[in-house]
């Protein structure tokens, strides 16, 4: 008869046994912005840490985009016409500067970590696939914010195209 071995691991994360094999300092079940990310000693462990941080930033950015104030005051119409309420624009984009800085840090640090494991072509491909599209989304919102906040006067509605 086979012995039933079970662990009390979360079905949403790798087993604790995997974390031990990979020499990770904290269990995967504690991954999240409140807990940080695991520090693992296997080759590429630092890559894992930066990938997890990138994923956390993406989730935070998506939370910003899902905010009803963003959908109401910084939607495509507002951006296209550079017309919105500056108070709401400032409040919903308050964390955008930090997200941009953290993404820049991840971009630099993950390259350093990847050099030990991957060739330059793979690193460039990875960045073009995962970092650059996210960076474009952040910069697009950043530029929209700056355009709206740089206005000193606001036209009356209805807004008409200047073309």
pTM higher than 0.85: no
Count up the domains in the chain and report the number.
1
Domain assignment present for 158: no
Domain of residue 51 covers: 17-150
pLDDT digits (tens, 9 = 90+) for 66-114: 999 889 899 999 999 888 999 999 998 999 999 999 999 999 999 999 9
Domain assignment present for 157: no
Domain assignment present for 106: yes
130 backbone dihedrals φ, ψ, rounded to 5°: -115, -35
Domain assignment present for 145: yes
pLDDT recorded at residue 100: 96
CB 111 within 8 A of CB 127: yes
Q: Give the HSE-up count for residue 130: Cα atoms under 13 Å, Cβ half-sphere.
A: 20
Q: How far apart are the C-alpha atoms of 17 and 23, rounded to whole Å?
A: 10
CB 27 within 8 A of CB 8: no
pLDDT recorded at residue 123: 97
């Amino acid at each position: 008869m086979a012995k039933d071995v079970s662990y009390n691991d979360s079905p949403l994360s790798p087993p604790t046994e995997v974390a031990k094999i990979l020499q990770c300092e904290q269990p995967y079940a504690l991954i999240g912005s409140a807990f940080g990310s695991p520090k693992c000693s296997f080759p590429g462990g630092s890559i894992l840490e930066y990938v997890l941080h990138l994923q956390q930033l993406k989730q935070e950015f998506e939370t910003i985009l899902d905010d009803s104030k963003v959908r109401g005051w910084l939607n495509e119409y507002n951006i296209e016409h550079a017309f919105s309420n500056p108070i709401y624009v400032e409040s919903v984009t308050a964390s955008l500067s930090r997200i941009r800085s953290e993404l820049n840090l991840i971009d630099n640090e993950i390259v350093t970590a990847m050099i030990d494991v991957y060739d330059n072509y793979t690193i460039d491909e990875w960045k073009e696939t995962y970092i650059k599209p996210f960076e474009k989304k952040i910069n697009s919102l950043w530029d929209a914010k700056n355009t709206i906040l740089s206005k000193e006067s606001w036209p009356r509605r209805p807004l008409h195209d200047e073309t």
